[in-house]
Amino acid sequence: MKNLRHVQNVGSAWSNSLPILFLAVFVQVVVNFGWSAASQIHSKRIPIGAIFPRAAHSFHIKSAFRHELERHNLTSQANIFRLERLETEAHPHDDYGVSRAICSLISKGSFLLFGQLDRSSFSTVRDFTSALNMPYVTIGSPSNYNFLSYYIGEPATTAHSRTSDRLQPHVLPQLHQLQSQQRPQSVDNDNFLLYLRPSYDRALIDVILDYKWPKIFYVYDNFEGLYRLEKLYQIKNRPNSTMKIESVRLSNVDDSYMVLRHMDSFEPAGTNKYIVLDLSTEEALVSVLKQIQAVGMNRGGYHYLLGGIAFDEIDVDDFKHGGVNITGFSLINRTETAARMVEAEWLKLNSSNWPGAGNESKLKLEAALAMDAVTVMTRALGNMLTSNPDEFRDIFRRGLLYGNLGTPCRTDERAPWEKGQAIMRNLKEVNLHGITGLISFDEVGHRKDYTLGVYELTLNSDIKEIATWHYSRGLTKVGPPEKSEPDEKFEGEPLNRTRIVTTIISPPFLYKKRVEHVGVPPTSDRLGPNGLQWFEGYCAELTVTLAELVGFDFELKLVEDSKYGAKIDNGTWNGMVGELATKKADLSVAPLTISSIRERVIDFSKPFMNLGISIMIKKPEKQKPGVFSFMDPLAYDIWACIVISYLAVSFVLFLVSRFSPYEWQMDDSKDCPDTAVVMPSYTNDFTVLNSLWFSLAAFMRQGCDISPRSLSGRVVGSAWWFFTLIIISSYTANLAAFLTIERMLTPIQGADDLAKQREIMYGTLDAGSTKDFFRNSKISTYEAMWEFMSNNVDVFVKSTEDGVDRVRSSKGKYAFLLESTMNDYYNQKKPCNTMKVGGDLDSKGYGVATPIGSDLREPIGLAILQLLEKGYLAKLHKKWWYDKGECVPEDTKGGSSSQSALTLSNVAGIFYILIGGLGLSMLTSLLEFIYKSKREILKQKKTFTEASRPKTRMSTGSTPDRENGGLAKGEYPLSQQVHQQPYHHQQQQQHQDDSHHLLHHHHPSAQGEAGFPANQRPAHTAIVLV
């Protein structure tokens, strides 16, 4: 029984524990499945650490990196793996900040790093990445820093130790520990550094050797420039080399004027100078180029070779017309399809979301390298996962490697990234075509098989590619498009031979003389010995002067087809350009615009006249001064403020006078009706009307019979006096100009005003460069103007004369867009009713054209500069535009005396105000008279005639007594007036000064009063002498 009971107990125990056992097994399965699923999920996530500089000018690098990374995560390859961005910031010059950034990103599990690199942080980055097997992809230059340390007599390890002394104490042990670990022996083996930016050292030397410069000035500002200079010295020291080198180090690139001036005067005048500018940054290069312009070293005879591989990003347009040559390198070939597509997408980005992109921001080299860096990393990682999908499966575990999510940076034992070598090996094996061309790497992580474009800027031409430099093949020259070689027929021909000068009729540049003095002009287009007896104008005189300066005879010839020159369908040119291109003429002196497409087939001199597209409108009528023009010196809002100030001051003056006890004064001159006791009363001069009168008198700079007594009232008055002083002075200063000048109000002031309105029509010639300018413009204002003109085709005219006539006959409702030279010319022609408004919409120039390779090109160019410096061209322009004009200049019309004299229309308003004031005073007086008479009618029960008769006589002074020399009743002098009152109301009132005395007091008597008979006694009266 016991055994049976024991078996039953055991069975019961097993039956009770079985559910728990099943539950434990289920939990274990779920956990294992969860870990497997999590591993599968995390295996698709690959974190990339990025170190960006804090500077604002580097925002485009961060935007490019992020944009390319997000592009990858949106592609189908994201199903295999996704890139996770881990970011931090550190300046490349701050080796301590860079070391902290690297440790931060490595400890967060970064598979590889991206960032910039320079000499200051090179040692730190190399030591950390080498010790921890962490691949570092950089857009910095390939390192020559070990070489530089030894070159200046300082071993690399010493430099590292000195740098480390500036670090914080808790970082020193780890950096010294990493430095003490094994390093590559070769100075070229950077281990885990991969460079996207290629070196241009060999390209620079190859171009210098190809130019065969006998002597160069090598200008540099950092150790990398010194490294390239050392390589150049190695070439110079070859046995057969004749090259001379003058090295110049700039200690302060922002203040290099004295160094440049010394270089400018180092060689005799007229000697060609060849200068290499190998500077560290684009900002330094731009700063030195600006100083070169200021010193005047942008003239002919100078040839600059710029270091760097982003020549297309530097603005050298200001050097285009100086005669200087500039050569540079560019890594990006912007004509390739891939580069054009990426740049087009870059320009469409929203700059608020992608700083440094959009808003017509050109794709810079650093941004393109950052995009290529992401492409290289994704290609390498994709290759690893394609060959082994489980490559990173066990990497994303929690707590399986040193108890951290990533590789720890601070540990006593070396803890390298276990996948670092495999990732670095796959990075070096990448071979693809990116934005910066073919991308492949050698065994030390440097770019190879890349191509650099060699570009050059010459006189009056845009930047063009002249050669390419390849990593393996070296320098290969490229011929200029459409620019033919100099024709051999010009070589060896004398300058003083007779030259054919082609030109075109275009007043005032060239027009026919009046034939009554010279006879009938010939029918041939050859105009006699030189053609000047039949024609005259600006270009005719300029041709004669050039021939005298250069020393050649000429024959003037009108162009056969009367055209300036345009490219036709078969590829040839018509007009004057075609005659020069086919050598039918030797030069052209005419209003021929300098353009890049024309300069492909002919050469131009320096511009002898600058011009642009301008606006012609009908001259508006001068505005006569208005009746109230005296109010124009001050704006209407100022007048309103003055009125408000006047009322406010009057109110405040009234208020403070009422509250201040010092404005009240005692007045005891009033009688008390019931008693003989004198009762004093108090009065205040500043009533409402008196306050208004005081403020008005002060504003008009006039006196007043009352003044404030209290301190508060005087403060108000003083402030008001100061205010009126400034206002009246300012008004007087402007009044003369507004009364004497007749203003001309134009309805528009420029192109912006035209584009914003629809009342005034505007147009151009139906065919020509002006119409093409608006059609091709990308400026919003000009685009709007072109849209308006294209929707109203009737605004275009066939000729310049038609456009001018339409302006004159449109009553101000049409504006004509034409070149400024013709605008100025027609504005000086009768009936003198057109004018130019606004500035020029573009800038271009007229030049003397010659065939390519002509021996006249340089002599004529120098002659033009000489005439320009002497002021001859300005004098010639004044002669044919203004001295021969038919309109009197505005500043000379009528003389000075007539402008200083005012007419009645200038001051009519003040007369109107005077007349109005007189009328208003008379009306007010009449109303006062009527009002007073009405009050007496009601008080004394009289008729209007009876009440008004005494006042009328008093006003006119027509009483008999006055006429006889006496005084009318009630007109006694104040000191002798007698007040008569009934006896029972008579009272005597004394003043404080006792000036009034009781004279008589009569009592009734039989004989009467004062000798009057009893029957003729007047009523009892009290007589008071006042």
Query: Is 819 labeled as ligand-binding?
Result: yes
Query: Is 593 labeled as ligand-binding?
Result: yes
- 486-610+844-886: CATH class: alpha beta
Q: How far apart are CA 247 and CA 275, in angstroms?
A: 10
Residue from 476, 452, 453, 475 nearest 464 by CA:
453
| Whether the Cβ atoms of residue 522 and residue 856 lie closer than 8 Å to each other | no
Three-class SS state of 761? strand
Residues of the chain with pLDDT under 50: 1-8, 10-11, 13-14, 25-27, 29-43, 146-190, 397-404, 480-495, 516-528, 892, 894-898, 959-1026
Q: Where do we find the tokens 């012609």? A: 616
Dmax over Cα atoms in the chain, in whole Å?
179
Q: Where do we find the tokens 């027929």? A: 489
Long-range interactions of 143-148: CB distance < 8 A, separation 24+: 143/117, 143/190, 143/193, 143/195, 144/223, 144/224, 144/227, 145/119, 145/223, 146/187, 147/187, 147/227, 148/119, 148/223, 148/224, 148/226, 148/227
Q: Which two tokens stand for residue 498?
A: 């007779």
Query: Is 769 labeled as ligand-binding?
Result: yes
Confidence (pLDDT) at 991:
40
Q: Which residues pair with 42 in a beta bridge?
A: none
Sign of CA dihedral 350, 356, 360, 366: negative
Query: Is 343 labeled as ligand-binding?
Result: no
| Whether the Cβ atoms of residue 319 and residue 313 lie closer than 8 Å to each other | no
Query: Is 810 labeled as ligand-binding?
Result: no
- The order of strands in the sheet holding 613-618 is 761-763, 814-819, 613-618, 834-837
Confidence (pLDDT) at 635:
86
Query: Is 340 labeled as ligand-binding?
Result: no
Q: Which two tokens stand for residue 593?
A: 């615009």
Q: Which two tokens stand for residue 104?
A: 């931060």
Residue from 43, 113, 128, 50 nearest 384 by CA:
43
Angle at 160 between CA 159 and CA 165, to 5 degrees: 100
Confidence (pLDDT) at 489:
38
Q: How far apart are CA 326 and CA 462, in angstroms?
A: 11
Q: Where do we find the tokens 């970064």? A: 110
The domain defined by 43-196+351-441 folds into Rossmann fold (3.40.50)
Report whether the peptide linkage leading into residue 389 is cis, meaning its omega lies within 30 degrees of zero: no
Which residues lie closer than 8 Å to 209 by C-beta, 6 or more apart?
A: 235
Distance of CA 882 to the CA centre of its chain: 35
Confidence (pLDDT) at 814:
93
| Whether the Cβ atoms of residue 951 and residue 933 lie closer than 8 Å to each other | yes
| Whether the Cβ atoms of residue 375 and residue 432 lie closer than 8 Å to each other | yes
Q: How far apart are CA 47 and CA 107, in angstroms?
A: 11
Would you say the CATH fold of 201-330+450-477 matches that of 43-196+351-441? yes
User: Alpha helix (H) ranges present in 43-155?
Assistant: 59-73, 95-107, 119-132, 145-151
User: Alpha helix (H) ranges present in 741-856?
Assistant: 751-756, 769-776, 780-791, 800-809, 820-827
* Rounded alpha-carbon distances, angstroms, from residue 13 to 5, 7, 8, 17: 12, 10, 9, 6
Three-class SS state of 447? strand
Q: Where do we find the tokens 């050669």? A: 467
Confidence (pLDDT) at 179:
38
Q: Which one is the CATH code of 629-740: 3.90.1150.10, 1.10.287.70, 3.50.50.60, 4.10.93.10? A: 1.10.287.70
On whether the 613-621+745-842 domain is CATH 1.10.3720.10, my answer is: no
* Rounded alpha-carbon distances, angstroms, from residue 399 to 42, 334, 403, 404, 992: 14, 49, 4, 6, 114
Domain boundaries, the chain: 1-41, 43-196+351-441, 201-330+450-477, 486-610+844-886, 613-621+745-842, 629-740, 907-965, 972-1026
CATH H superfamily, domain 201-330+450-477: Response regulator (3.40.50.2300)
| Whether the Cβ atoms of residue 351 and residue 359 lie closer than 8 Å to each other | yes
Residue from 58, 59, 65 nearest 374 by CA:
65
Model pTM score: 0.46
Confidence (pLDDT) at 966:
45
Q: Where do we find the tokens 């001064």? A: 625
Q: How far apart are CA 996 and CA 975, in angstroms?
A: 10
Strands, E assignment, 510-667:
511-512, 535-536, 554-558, 587-588, 602-611, 613-618, 664-667
| Whether the Cβ atoms of residue 275 and residue 217 lie closer than 8 Å to each other | yes
Angle at 112 between CA 108 and CA 117, to 5 degrees: 105
Please name the amino acid found at residue 527. L
